[in-house]
Homo-oligomer: A and B are copies of this chain.
Amino acid sequence: MGSLPLDALQPLDPDTFAADSSAVIDFLAGYYRDVDKYPVRAADLEPGRLRKLLPEAAPEFGEPAERILDDVRRDVLPGLTHWQSPSFFAYFPMNASAAGFAGEMLSVGLNVVPFMWVASPAAVELEAVVVDWMARLVGLPDRFLFSGSGGGGGGGGVLQGSTCEAVVCTLAAARDRALGRIGHEGIVKLVVYASDQTHATFQKGARLVGIPPANFRVVPTAAASGYALTGAAVRAAVEGDVARGLVPLYLCATMGTTGIGAVDPVRELGEVARRHGMWLHVDAAYAGAAAICPEYQGYLDGAELADSVSMNPHKWFLTNMDCCCLWVASPAALTAALSTDPEYLKNAGGGKPQAAGAAGAIDYKDWQISLSRRFRAMKLWFVLRRYGAAGMRAYIRRHVAMAEWFERAMSADERFEVVAKRRFSLVCFRLRCGGDVMNRELLAAVNASGRAFMTHFVVDGKFVIRLAVGGAMTEMRHVRDAWELVQRTAEQLLQRRV
């Protein structure tokens, strides 16, 4: 494991590989043992700290793995925000697991590139199988499966890196279908719809594919509908645009918005989308994981009216970054917008079978933005095999129960109010008095303590604090500690005020 002489660089020598990798495993096992001792949010918030510690240029000669790991421990760890800390409650979880890690190691170690079927048949087929497994687990209709209950489902899925990629690909599919009808100059007439709760990546994605920013409709939501879109509001917006000669293109519904976990009514929106020939996408990035439990599948009622659905196993499904499932009802619409067929990929030297279009022989490069891609299926497959559907359901329910406990504790303390209904593992709350200023101070003090990390949102003009439960190591005691920390910090702020 020492430094390597130049003439003997053997980058995949099995013994060096095993020795270096074992050192990393020990490092990470130690990290998991100690992770709750680190301040959750990076303690050192001085920009440029790490740059000052590192040389201006890469080293000329190689170094042993241990020396690099020592530097990671000394220089890098203190500057990280620890997403795997059991007291990380910020944003949405991005949880890791031994199984997600093992699957990713296999994928990274095999380092095959399943961009075309022939370039790694089994990797492509495992992906097609595992997206079908996930579709069944979350209760999607057969139309999103390669292999439906009565044979071919007609649709299919792909593993991408993020919801934004999924949105860009489906927007491009919808756009090209529309432009095929009205001509490319019609691009300035295309309108997309979302709510004021929809994730910002949707707006970014729409802009990326050339939709004019002026044609991005933000439909307002209100407390009365639980901050969900209503069919009536979308219909009104669409009809106004149609009357002005514009072309409704795409509607994004969300199961579990980022701000407060709101759920848009899929069936109601699907009917509006159908009537106006719009593509309906359901973004279930975070809360889609909960739909593996029957008690949450009602939120996807009406999904048969959607054109595409996405959810991120890398958020709340124990699958290390990155992994986003995108299912489409019409693979042909997707590949029409995304396929390329250059000479150097044709038939891969005569090896591609005649039955290229047959079930399984998918060229996933035509289902995504990039040509190259990682073997993500191995990771999701490993998680599903290692923990099983029952294990994953128990895991999701445990997090929901912890969030419920936090919500109850908060509701019983008259100094606080819970803002918006909790549906999954996200609780939004604020101090009743002191206004936004004191609530901002509360959050800043909680985060500065290093004992927990939460983020915020603004609902109806009010600053609210978000606590999202979902860490792989988060247990009841961490949620209880977080509640005590919030209480104690609030007390100090309120006393100071008196």
Contact = CB atoms under 8 A, between A and B. Distances in A.
Contact of A68 (B133, B318, B369, B386): B386
Interface in A243-258: 258
A63 B121 contact: no
Contacts of A110: 28, 31, 80, 83-84
Interface residues of A, number: 186
Nearest to A113: B94
Interface in A336-354: 337-338, 340-346, 348-353
A51 B359 contact: yes
A11 interface: yes
Nearest to A88: B112
Given A29-B17, A79-B121, A126-B50, A440 B187 contact: no
Contacts of A262: none
A330 to B, nearest CB: 18
A389 B320 contact: no
A35 to B, nearest CB: 9
Copies in the complex: 2
A498 interface: no
A225 interface: no
In this complex, the member of A15, A208, A454 whose beta carbon has the largest number of chain B beta carbons within 10 angstroms is A208
B31 A120 contact: no
Nearest to A258: B344
A419 interface: no
Interface stretch (A233-241, A268-276, A390-398, A401-409): A390-398
A13 to B, nearest CB: 7
Contact of A58 (B20, B133, B346): B133
Nearest to A358: B47
A242 interface: no
A164 interface: yes
A51 B360 contact: yes
B386 A62 contact: yes
Interface in A370-384: 370-374, 378, 382, 384
B164 A21 contact: no
A42 B201 contact: no
A62 B385 contact: yes
A28 to B, nearest CB: 4
B48 A360 contact: yes
Contact of A47 (B71, B98, B210, B360): B360
A12 B96 contact: yes
A122 interface: yes
A424 interface: no
Contact of A106 (B24, B42, B136): B24
B94 A57 contact: no
A200 B102 CA distance: 34
A412 interface: no
A472 B17 CA distance: 12
A128 interface: yes
A473 interface: yes
A160 B4 CA distance: 29
A192 interface: no
A416 interface: no
B109 A447 contact: no
Contacts of A222: none
A42 B118 contact: yes
A359 B47 contact: yes
B90 A136 contact: no
Given A49-B125, A51-B129, A121-B80, A98 B13 contact: yes
A394 B6 contact: yes
Contacts of A338: 204, 208
Interface string A12-26: 111111101111111
A336 to B, nearest CB: 11
A62 B392 CA distance: 9
A199 to B, nearest CB: 8
Nearest to A341: B200
Given A3-B388, A60-B389, A258-B344, 6 more contacts: A49-B125, A62-B388, A79-B123, A80-B123, A83-B110, A349-B465
7 contacts: A3-B388, A6-B390, A25-B105, A51-B147, A56-B132, A61-B388, A79-B125
Closest 4 pairs (CB-CB, A-B): A210-B210, A79-B122, A11-B97, A350-B444
